[in-house]
Amino acid sequence: MPHPLIATALVPELLRAHARRDGYLFVPGLLPPERVAAVRAVVDEALARRGWLVDGTSDPSLRLGRWDDTRWTGFLAEILSTDAYQTLAAAPELIAVLRVVVGDDPQLHVGDVCRLVSPGALDLTTPPHQDAAYLKDADAVWTAWMALSPCPIALGPLAILPGSHTAGLRPHAPVSTGDGVVGTDVPDDAPWHAADLALGDVIFFSSLTVHRALPNTTRDELRVSVDYRYRPRASSDRS
Ligand SMILES: O=C(O)CCC(=O)C(=O)O
């Protein structure tokens, strides 16, 4: 079992201290659930239209979750262009935390997604990695990750390796399960932090923090999450 995520209160000194120490922040209830649910409603309409969600359940044989799945990239293009998705990225509650953490006004970077993971697609679970292994101009980038539903451990929330941001970029190598997906080796007994998440809980992590997803072991529930990447305005002005 993972260790519980450490929650941080919305106190600037604590946000800064925990971000520096752990490379992540967990802020339960940061966003009003109804605001996140509004984005989920838009996503659900797109899912239902594709037959990926029927009466709240999802067929495991769809095997959604690959980065190069053209069904998913088409869905993503649709969702990323919606007002609902973009408005959530600019939520004042997210921006206020990020402003403290990155020390400047945050600006959206690249690599935002709305992720889908089919029930039982254990081999498609995001492996341990640092975003700096994927991202251009990753310095000072922080990501806000949230599920678009309550996300108990069985549905495969994000897991974080606290303090893993302090030793720089680790070696990454392709993993067997997906084209272009790279991961970094982590000991079997690594002290992952994860938790059952409620709607509106947000996890923030730096581009050097090792993170992964837990497997979606449910019978028929699709895991739906969003991640938004930000960096300080000053660094965006430079590149
Ligand atoms: O949601 C996931 O499965 C992985 C998220 C992730 O790796 C990221 O946001 O960088």
Q: Is 130 in the pocket of ligand 1 (CB under 6 A)?
A: no
How many domains in the chain?
1
Q: Is 225 in the pocket of ligand 1 (CB under 6 A)?
A: yes
Summarised one tens digit per residue, pLDDT across range 112-162 is: 999 999 999 999 999 999 999 988 888 899 999 999 999 999 999 999 999
28 confidence band (pLDDT: 50, 70, 90):
very high
Q: 33 in a domain, yes or no? A: yes
CA-CA distance, 88 to 94, in Å (whole number)? 9
103 confidence band (pLDDT: 50, 70, 90):
very high
Q: Which domain holds residue 107?
A: 12-238
Cα(76) to centroid(ligand 1), Å: 15
**Is residue 239's pLDDT more than 60?**
no
**Is residue 110's pLDDT more than 80?**
yes
Ligand 1 atom closest to the CA of 211, numbered from 1: 7
Q: 4 in a domain, yes or no? A: no
For residue 6, the 8-state DSSP code is P
Q: 2 in a domain, yes or no? A: no
**DSSP SS3 for 196:** coil
Cα(126) to centroid(ligand 1), Å: 6
CA-CA distance, 78 to 20, in Å (whole number)? 36
Q: 213 in a domain, yes or no? A: yes
Q: Is 211 in the pocket of ligand 1 (CB under 6 A)?
A: yes
Q: Is 147 in the pocket of ligand 1 (CB under 6 A)?
A: no
Q: What is the pTM of this model?
A: 0.96
Summarised one tens digit per residue, pLDDT across range 63-99 is: 999 999 999 999 999 999 999 999 999 999 999 999 9
Q: For residue 161, what is the domain's CATH number?
A: 2.60.120.620
Cα(230) to centroid(ligand 1), Å: 14
Q: Is 138 in the pocket of ligand 1 (CB under 6 A)?
A: no
Q: Best of 67, 123, 143 to mutate for ligand 1, by most ligand atoms within 8 A of CB?
A: 143
What is the DSSP track for 130-193? -GGGT-TT-TT-EEEEEESS-B-GGG--EEE-TTTTTT-PPP-EE-TTSTT-EE----TT---B
Q: 1 in a domain, yes or no? A: no
Q: 146 in a domain, yes or no? A: yes
Q: 3 in a domain, yes or no? A: no
Count Cβ atoms within 10 A of the Cβ of residue 213 and give its class: 0-12 exposed, 13-18 middle, 19 or more buried.
Answer: buried
Mean pLDDT for 179-186 is 84
